[in-house]
A and B are shown apart, each in its own frame.
Chain A
Amino acid sequence: MREKVVENRPYGLMPRNGQASSRPCFDDPREFNKENGVSRLRVRLNRLELANPVLVASGTFGYAREMQAFIRFDRLGGIIPKTITPQPRAGNPTPRTVETASGMLNSIGLDNDGLDAFLSKHLEYLLSLGTSVIANVAGKNRDEFVQMAERLGKVPGIAALELNISCPNVAHGVDFGTNAKLAAEVVAGVRGACDLPVIAKLTPNVTSIVEIAQAAADGGADAVSVINTIQGMAVDWRRRKPVLGAGFGGLSGPAIKPVALRMVFQVARAVRIPIIGVGGIQTVEDVMEFLVAGASAVQIGTANFYNPSGAEHLVGQLDALLEREGVADVNEVIGTLRFPDGTGCLR
């Protein structure tokens, strides 16, 4: 019998009833200093104020309950739960994910139990976690977005709405995100329907993301999230079939970071709107790159799947890094990138 002995570095333990028994163990020596952190890391995106710039991305953090054994929620800048649709959706056929080089494709298809179930089953728990909760919604048309905004706007405690006008995995779901006029209309409709700060989450699957970001700004968005997944495909050549049950999927993970950075900078250079950078972020270096390129905050997505306490560590690491660099306030580094042609972010 061939046998190997290796050691592990546990992230934490999740017993079979799903409740946390022991705290996940952290071997990160840089403990987050809450008092320093709060003042140094606080950011403002128009009407949305966050304790720190590290958020967790929609669809990669479940409804937070799933993560409780791994992470201290109150350290995060905020949580964005899975996209909510007005009615329950079964989602796409399996396989729904496949790993690709340094990334993954997904075609989950907005599998969720609908707005009523979100309000009755998940919201109270989310609001008890001591961090900002940003509800992410998707509708088939402008009216569905507006109706959801009206209902969520009446719930005390929600910090903001993120409009998923960019999901590549549902038919018709992508129209708002690829058509500037529709994007502006949806954002304006939602702004009119509630008092919550509004974030438009943009798709990279367009010719000019700047144009869509401008439209979202014109519609009254407080911020834009850049980017959702990049449409892609995996092929099983032996069976002459796509690997994913839905055929196409959205690419995420470290593989997309350069594309996300490019788009964050392009938007930051052209549109006066705070940006939340998303795409392939794993390390504190990645976070700094996005901040410098013009993002006022970031979202951690795919990394939550393989490093479920990582987002929390990033907050402490960011604080420590800024201190080492002699930066008293994170806002000093946001948008400081200078492009070779002399242009920079509009700040």
Chain B
Amino acid sequence: MARDTWRMRVECAEMARQIVPGQFFMVRIPGLSDPLLGRPFALYDIYERDGVPAGIDFGYLVVGKMTSRLSQLRVGDRVELWGPLGNGFPVPEARRLMLIAGGIGQTPFLAVAREALGRRHYGSPQRAVPRSLESVSLCYGVRSSAYQAGVDEFRSVPGLELKLATDDGSNGHRGFVTDLLRGAIESDAPPDAVYCCGPEPMMHAAARLCASHSIACWLSLESPMACGFGACFSCVTKVATPDGWDYRRTCVEGPVFRADQLALGEH
């Protein structure tokens, strides 16, 4: 899809029928004990055959053991995967929805945009999207243009407004993707809901911006996971409670959280 960035298509009709944008699944290469554990990946999109869901696509950046192995698989090879897991992004009830993606954190947003704009339906039973939406825009920031993945696909979604940022200015706004969010918030048509996925500092900055303007904000967290289904307690994050915070499992209570549920300041 871009430098070090790949897309994988997996035949799995049952999963494709059930999964909703923002949910994830675990992927593993059968028979190997190194890498041993599954790795979590978000739904990029489902694909259909003869009008029915036939499988899923996911997009990934090569960062370590499993992702480099995955990039060496060939057509017809088998992977093991389990899911759908976790809670996806909520069905947008906003008028102006803004999606903020940092780096490979863009992967959930093609499906989110398609669903929000009524181009595709997800889930079993299918989730219905209210027709209150006036606009959906995606702000997508990466290090440099070589890492911009799937831009043509985003452009092909009718009605999706795309704004790009690069740290080095090689394409689009030079600077952080959160600059684009600030610009939108200060415009005369600010978003009333923000969905965010990317590196932690970027998500925290976006959450703070939204909080200071009372805009509802959801974050999709990228916690290290060993199982994906709640058994290991690896993936915890600090969730705000009446008397402070408590660790909760990202894989079952997230990965998508409302930003104001999280105890973001606690370290």
Q: Which residues of A contact B (CB under 8 A)?
A: 1-16, 18, 21-22, 59-62, 65-67, 69-70, 82, 90-91, 94-99, 101-104, 106, 108, 111, 253-254, 282, 302, 304-306, 308
User: Inside 8 A of B18's CB, which chain A residues have their CB?
Assistant: 13, 15-16, 21
B8 lies within 8 A of chain A by Cβ: yes
19 A-B pairs whose Cβ atoms sit less than 8 Å apart in the complex: A2-B7, A3-B8, A4-B8, A4-B9, A5-B76, A6-B75, A7-B77, A8-B10, A8-B15, A11-B80, A21-B18, A22-B14, A59-B233, A66-B231, A67-B231, A90-B247, A97-B224, A304-B227, A304-B231
Other than the given A1-B7, A3-B8, A14-B83, 11 more pairs (CB < 8 A) read: A3-B9, A5-B75, A10-B14, A10-B80, A13-B82, A16-B23, A16-B86, A96-B224, A253-B36, A254-B33, A282-B33
Cα–Cα distance between A90 and B243 once the two chains are bound (Å)? 13
**Which residue of B has the minimal Cβ distance to A64?**
B231
Cα–Cα distance between A9 and B78 once the two chains are bound (Å)? 7
User: Inside 8 A of B35's CB, which chain A residues have their CB?
Assistant: 99
Chain A binding surface, main DSSP class: loop
CB contacts under 8 Å to A, within B2-38, are 6-12, 14-15, 18, 20, 23, 26, 28, 30, 33-38
Given known contacts A8-B81, A13-B83, A99-B36, A94 and B11 CB-to-CB distance under 8 angstroms: no
Contact B9 A13 (CB under 8 A): no
Given known contacts A2-B7, A97-B224, A10 and B81 CB-to-CB distance under 8 angstroms: yes
B154 lies within 8 A of chain A by Cβ: no
B229 lies within 8 A of chain A by Cβ: yes
Cα–Cα distance between A22 and B17 once the two chains are bound (Å)? 13
Give the B interface residue count (CB, 8 A). 55
Contact B232 A97 (CB under 8 A): yes
User: Inside 8 A of B105's CB, which chain A residues have their CB?
Assistant: none
Given known contacts A6-B77, A10-B14, A21-B18, A102 and B7 CB-to-CB distance under 8 angstroms: no
Cα–Cα distance between A99 and B81 once the two chains are bound (Å)? 18
A-B complex: 7 closest residue pairs judged by Cβ atoms: A66-B230, A305-B227, A62-B231, A97-B234, A102-B33, A66-B231, A11-B82
**Which residue of A has the minimal Cβ distance to B10?**
A8
User: Inside 8 A of B233's CB, which chain A residues have their CB?
Assistant: 59, 62, 82, 91, 96, 108, 111
Cα–Cα distance between A60 and B234 once the two chains are bound (Å)? 11
Contact of A13 among B37, B77, B84 (CB under 8 A): B84
Contact A308 B227 (CB under 8 A): yes
Cα–Cα distance between A302 and B36 once the two chains are bound (Å)? 10
Residue interface bits B145-183, CB-to-A below 8 A is 1, else 0? 000000000000000000000000000000000000000
Cα–Cα distance between A59 and B234 once the two chains are bound (Å)? 11
Chain A CB within 10 Å — which of B20, B35, B236 has the most? B236
Contact A106 B78 (CB under 8 A): no
Cα–Cα distance between A104 and B84 once the two chains are bound (Å)? 24
Residue interface bits B204-238, CB-to-A below 8 A is 1, else 0? 00000000000000000001101101111110110
**Which residue of A has the minimal Cβ distance to B245?**
A90
Cα–Cα distance between A322 and B150 once the two chains are bound (Å)? 53
User: Inside 8 A of B85's CB, which chain A residues have their CB?
Assistant: 14
Q: Which residues of B contact A (CB under 8 A)?
A: 1, 6-12, 14-15, 18, 20, 23, 26, 28, 30, 33-38, 65, 73-88, 124, 223-224, 226-227, 229-234, 236-237, 246-247, 252
Cα–Cα distance between A73 and B152 once the two chains are bound (Å)? 48
User: Inside 8 A of A5's CB, which chain B residues have their CB?
Assistant: 9, 11, 75-76
User: Inside 8 A of A8's CB, which chain B residues have their CB?
Assistant: 10-12, 15, 78-81
Shortest Cβ distance from residue A281 to the other chain B in the assembled complex, whole angstroms: 12
Shortest Cβ distance from residue A322 to the other chain B in the assembled complex, whole angstroms: 24
Cα–Cα distance between A5 and B8 once the two chains are bound (Å)? 6
User: Inside 8 A of B232's CB, which chain A residues have their CB?
Assistant: 59-60, 62, 97, 106, 108, 305
Contact B231 A60 (CB under 8 A): yes
Contact B15 A4 (CB under 8 A): no
User: Inside 8 A of A6's CB, which chain B residues have their CB?
Assistant: 8-11, 73, 75-79
Given known contacts A9-B30, A91-B233, A106-B234, A15 and B227 CB-to-CB distance under 8 angstroms: no
**Which residue of B has the minimal Cβ distance to A101?**
B34
User: Inside 8 A of A59's CB, which chain B residues have their CB?
Assistant: 232-233
**Which residue of B has the minimal Cβ distance to A21?**
B18
Chain B CB within 10 Å — which of A22, A94, A106 has the most? A94
Cα–Cα distance between A94 and B86 once the two chains are bound (Å)? 19
Cα–Cα distance between A9 and B194 once the two chains are bound (Å)? 36
